[in-house]
Amino acid sequence: MKRWLLVLMMVTLGSFSLMTTTNAATVAVREDFGKYFEGFTSGTFVVYDESKDQYSVFNEQQSETRLTPCSTFKIYNSLIALETGAASDENMVLSWDGQQRFLPVWNQDHTMASGIKNSVVWYYQALASRIGPEHMQKYIDAIPYGNRDISGGITQFWLRSSLTISAKEQVELLRRLYHDQLPFSARNMAIVRKIIIQSDENGIVFSGKTGAGSIEGVYSIGWFVGVVEKGNNRYYFATNIEAVNGATGVKARDISREILKSLGVL
């Protein structure tokens, strides 16, 4: 009971800090970024420049629309697994069950670090089962994460199911993760920040997680959310795209990189 009172206090303080930052920040609407989204039925890009306290947003309406998070939820699934003891650390191995899946790299044993790098769905479904619905719901509420709805089932709720979140919400959660303002231990937040690093070159750390929603090989939703650490500044961003087919996390990542390059961030 005392633990959850502490969690609620942390959420309240974090929300106050977030609200203050958001209210003070300026917003630059960048409809010129539309050229990066050609061929998709809809999409959005949001970046928060911490040093300038400024958001740059393409398609503001879409940036506030909640969509299934798909594999971007692995960031928070990792945090909850570590905090509840469902995972000991990023090196915890889970054995492959022998079931052949469509990506060959999934058909082997994995650690949390390799599981998030290769977006191994079965590994994170196993972690979610270990966490269980009661603890999962408590932390989803405590974060709080999007619409907080895990009714789609403990191994499915983030996969084109009941849980949804907007691009703006993704950006704010990342900001809180990098400021140790989420209801998790500093150790566990540091582990997750480490395992989502994609590159560390020339003084620029590029971190993030893809996500894609598909049914029978048809990809209609793609995500990429992440952070660029450059000098003494951080840029938190989120991109989502929708299409009849072809909206993948890799394409969302490519769009993110191109826009960040155009802004001089990468």
* Long-range contacts, 146-153 (Cβ 8 Å, 24+): 146/66, 146/69, 147/66
- CA separation for the pair 228, 29 (Å, rounded): 20
- Asked whether 211 and 97 are in contact (CB, 8 A), the reply is no
- Asked whether 49 and 235 are in contact (CB, 8 A), the reply is yes
> Can you tell me which residue has the tokens 């915890």?
92
Q: Tokens for 162?
A: 């009941």
DSSP, res 67: B
Instruction: List the catalytic residue out of 71, 78, 161, 256.
Output: 71
Catalytic site includes residue 71: yes
- CA separation for the pair 236, 265 (Å, rounded): 11
- Asked whether 28 and 45 are in contact (CB, 8 A), the reply is no
The distance between the two most distant Cα atoms of the chain, rounded to a whole number of Å, is: 52
- Asked whether 45 and 259 are in contact (CB, 8 A), the reply is yes
Other Cβ atoms within 10 Å of 204 Cβ, number: 14
- Active-site annotation, residues: 71
